[in-house]
Structure 1
Amino acid sequence: MSIQSRVIVELRGRIISGELAPGTSLSEIVLAEAFGVSRTPVREALKQLQTEGLVDIRPRVGTFVAAPSRQEITELFQMKELLEGAAARLLAQRGRVPELDALEANLSTADAAVRSGDQEGYAELVHEFHDLVMRGADNAKLADHYRTLMNQLAYPRLVHTSLAQPGRPTRSDSEHHHVLELIRAKDGDGAERVMREHVRASHRALMDGLDRAAPAADGGEPG
């Protein structure tokens, strides 16, 4: 891996995980020192991450971790709904493939996480569930678009906000079970429809969470 590639991978991971929060200022000098490299690979890495929608470069102002607006989050979720719905349909059409065994194991572990109130563990299983559906679709072009979309959403950070809403983990787990039932039944139409409904429900929970957080961030009481 080249120096520039290493910087891209590391910065991308920190942004997606939320370690570098939206709006964080990114200094070429500080990053170069942190990575032990010159400013050139850092500058090129930031340009690449800008094309991926993860970094906002403002001439004569500075470089910042991108902070998607509510409208942008909604638009990204609309695309997520389309892509994951298509993936569920394609997986249902493939029949009994190894990903189905992995999905069944995922849901068994997820059920236990929900029962025990392990929100952190369940959040990771949610991410894995959707990745398995996408992998099971066996469509490289679809997967490429999905990966870019999820990076722009910084999904691992947002999923915690969604799952923090009262009762959402239980409903989410039930929705996953319904999706898998339809995939196992080779019902492509049903699998796509229910997966899209699930993504819309996740989006609503996320926006509710952002609404509750906004008053607190402004110094008021959460709603």
Structure 2
Amino acid sequence: MPNTPSSPSTTVVRDTLHTQVVGLLRQRLMDGSLAPGSKLNERVLCAEIGVSRTPLREAIKQLATEGLVTLEAGRGAFAAAPSRDDIEQTFDVIAVLEGLAAERAAQRMTEGALAELQALQYDMQAAFERRDLQAYYAANARVHDLMSESAGNAVLRQTWQQLNQRLHALRYRSNQDETKWRRALAEHAEMLLALRQRDGAALRRLLEEHLRRKRDAVLEQFSP
């Protein structure tokens, strides 16, 4: 009997399930519920999330491409555990990339994008006041993404996206110290002001300093 193609509704359901499983696992990896270096136990995760092994394994493969999971032949999947050198070097490079993108974005960003950034700043402030780190990170991630997008350089954006995937969990956890979180929020307000003034040089400096402080905050948490 010939195979019957999946209907559009079936495809949507599958895509939605995949997206949900990826999102749930990504959040656990980012907030440390799945600790760096820990093995992803498929049986336990399937029971907790309520899915079969097929969508779970598909999600794990995607997260491996993002650098959040490492796959070891014969051993399984593990939450990524970057070394101290990996952390330091990756942050150093992405600081330069984001700084360049921000400098270019200062001259190219539309008024609509500026208005979105202002709204995101309000969202981050509200999330901080609620101590809602997940909501804060979502808005924060969009800020950095929007500046990268507004640079108008496809090669720069693609390179940044590939590298940034490796830092999601580290950037998320860098704000778990409330004092550093408050400071990061204030730094974003300064960056928004420089962007409104179209001061690309100042924005580049502020963003590079911001990311290097992120690097230092992450390294403080690192257990040698």
TM-score (norm 2): 0.71
Offset, 1:88: 0.7
Q: Percent identity among equivalent residues?
A: 31
| Residue in structure 2 matched with residue 73 of structure 1 by the alignment | 87
Structure 2 residue 28 is matched with structure 1 residue 18: yes
CA 1:95–1:50 in structure 2 vs 1: closer, same or farther (change >3 Å)?
A: closer
3-state SS of the aligned residue for 2:39?
Answer: coil
| Residue in structure 1 matched with residue 73 of structure 2 by the alignment | 59
Structure 2 residue 131 is matched with structure 1 residue 118: yes
In structure 2, C-alpha distance between the alignment counterparts of 1:29 and 1:113, rounded to whole Å: 34
CA 1:161–1:66 in structure 2 vs 1: closer, same or farther (change >3 Å)?
A: closer
Offset, 1:197: 0.6
Which one-letter code corresponds to 1:118 in the other structure?
R
3-state SS of the aligned residue for 2:173?
Answer: helix
In structure 1, C-alpha distance between the alignment counterparts of 2:136 and 2:46, rounded to whole Å: 36
Which one-letter code corresponds to 2:165 in the other structure?
N
What is the aligned counterpart of 2:212 among 196, 200, 210? 200
Cα-Cα RMSD: 3.5
What is the aligned counterpart of 1:175 among 181, 187, 205? 187
Offset, 1:28: 7.3
3-state SS of the aligned residue for 2:78?
Answer: strand
In structure 1, C-alpha distance between the alignment counterparts of 2:130 and 2:19, rounded to whole Å: 32
CA 1:16–1:144 in structure 2 vs 1: closer, same or farther (change >3 Å)?
A: farther
| Residue in structure 2 matched with residue 162 of structure 1 by the alignment | 174
| Residue in structure 1 matched with residue 198 of structure 2 by the alignment | 186
3-state SS of the aligned residue for 1:186?
Answer: coil
Offset, 1:59: 2.9
CA 1:3–1:139 in structure 2 vs 1: closer, same or farther (change >3 Å)?
A: farther
TM-score (norm 1): 0.72
- Per-residue CA deviation, residues 113-167 of structure 1 (Å, 9 max, x unaligned), is 44x35242433332232122223223333333333223222x2x43443222242
CA 1:5–1:75 in structure 2 vs 1: closer, same or farther (change >3 Å)?
A: farther
CA 1:173–1:30 in structure 2 vs 1: closer, same or farther (change >3 Å)?
A: closer
- Per-residue CA deviation, residues 3-36 of structure 1 (Å, 9 max, x unaligned), is 9988975665344322572334346788899754
Offset, 1:204: 1.6
Conserved? CA contact 1:119–1:169, under 8 Å = no
What is the count of residue pairs matched by the alignment? Answer: 207
- Per-residue CA deviation, residues 152-197 of structure 1 (Å, 9 max, x unaligned), is 22x2x43443222242222112211221222222222221111101
3-state SS of the aligned residue for 1:63?
Answer: strand
3-state SS of the aligned residue for 1:206?
Answer: helix
Name stretches of at least 5 consecutive residues in structure 2 with no aligned partner.
Answer: 1-10
- Per-residue CA deviation, residues 35-56 of structure 1 (Å, 9 max, x unaligned), is 54769x94x8766654543332
Conserved? CA contact 2:109–2:150, under 8 Å = no
Conserved? CA contact 2:70–2:79, under 8 Å = yes
Which one-letter code corresponds to 1:13 in the other structure?
G
In structure 1, C-alpha distance between the alignment counterparts of 2:27 and 2:54, rounded to whole Å: 25
